[in-house]
Structure 1
Amino acid sequence: MRFEETKYFSLLPHSKIEFTFGKFYFFENFVISEVHEGVHFDWDKILEVIGAMQDYYGEGIEIAYISNRVDSYSIEPQLWYRFHKEFDFIVAVATVAYNDFAYINASIEKQFANISLKRCDDLDAALSWIKHLKEFSQK
């Protein structure tokens, strides 16, 4: 389910940023992404999103990332290595997989991630997991 179709859309304060390749919702300490169908989410697109995150959150950010995979798109799992080498502000990732293929892809990405990566069946589970992360328990 798309974020805008959930009860959280009106309950949780956020800012929406639209790129040609997807929608990103910025919250106090996490981001929800919804990449469009058929997109190859490559390093250049990742850098666009990172730039928007840094503009929005400023220096010294520490956030979680929810990949809400309502549409099918591709990403190279090894980009996690590159991301962790150059950036360190994402402390955890939840991937919402709505079908077996997306779940398998998330499982492959989990092998490349140097941070906690949780696979979830819906946004409720992802948001609950993010809310209970030790990194945010004292905020």
Structure 2
Amino acid sequence: MITSPRINNVNFVSKKLKLGELRYNDKYMVVVFNEGIDVNFDNFGEITDIIKSQYGTRPFGFISNRINSYSIDLSDANKFNKMFPNVKAYAVVAHNSITERIFEIEERFFTFNRKSFRNIDDAIDWVEFTLSTSK
């Protein structure tokens, strides 16, 4: 569950998907992936469709609130990098040190402007600031 009053309001669309819970507005999306899933390019299709229809080629932000444990197929990183060149801010909310170490490994594979945070509000602040200064 995504828990922040800043994204639990009428300005955000909320959807339950096969991969997890998604909230988004006209600037960024926040996702909580389900426990134990493997995120890969093929099963990311529902989210890809929302990104393409919501943002098109406009800059947008993505926040992964890593409450649950899941994996990302790093062999698909290049596909994600090419598919979403308009991701200007990719924040990860790491709730423990293991998740922070995983984020550091992923850094080597993804070309997005990425940063790790310990709480959702700091991640939102950074994404909003980054998008406001991005061209």
TM-score, normalised by the number of residues in structure 2: 0.88
Q: Tell me which amino acid in the other structure corresponds to 1:108.
A: I
Partner of 1:9: 7
Partner of 2:51: 53
- Alpha-carbon RMSD across the aligned residues, in angstroms, is 2.0
Report if the CA contact (8 A) 2:41-2:79 is conserved: no
Would the alpha carbon gap of residues 136 and 79 (structure 1) be closer, same or farther in structure 2, given more than 3 Å must change?
Answer: farther
The farther-off stretch of 36-45 and 9-18 is 9-18
How far apart, CA to CA, are the structure 2 residues paired with 1:60 and 1:76? Answer: 24
Matches within 5 A, 1:46-125: 46-57=44-55, 59-125=56-122
Deviation at 1:105, TM superposition (A): 0.9
Task: After superposition, give the CA deviation of every residue in 1:20-71 in whole Å (9 maximum; x if it has no partner).
Answer: 22011111211101001011111122222111222233x3221010000011
Report if the CA contact (8 A) 2:93-2:118 is conserved: yes
Would the alpha carbon gap of residues 113 and 124 (structure 1) be closer, same or farther in structure 2, given more than 3 Å must change?
Answer: same
Would the alpha carbon gap of residues 12 and 129 (structure 1) be closer, same or farther in structure 2, given more than 3 Å must change?
Answer: farther
Q: Give identity over the alignment, percent.
A: 22
How far apart, CA to CA, are the structure 2 residues paired with 1:62 and 1:73? Answer: 26
How far apart, CA to CA, are the structure 2 residues paired with 1:61 and 1:137? Answer: 14
How far apart, CA to CA, are the structure 1 residues paired with 2:37 and 2:113? Answer: 25
**Structure 1 residues not aligned, in runs of 5+:** none
Would the alpha carbon gap of residues 87 and 8 (structure 1) be closer, same or farther in structure 2, given more than 3 Å must change?
Answer: closer
How far apart, CA to CA, are the structure 2 residues paired with 1:117 and 1:90? Answer: 10
Instruction: Figure out how many residues of one structure are paired with residues of the other and give that number.
Output: 135
Q: Tell me which amino acid in the other structure corresponds to 1:136.
A: S
Deviation at 1:122, TM superposition (A): 0.6
Q: Tell me which amino acid in the other structure corresponds to 1:47.
A: G
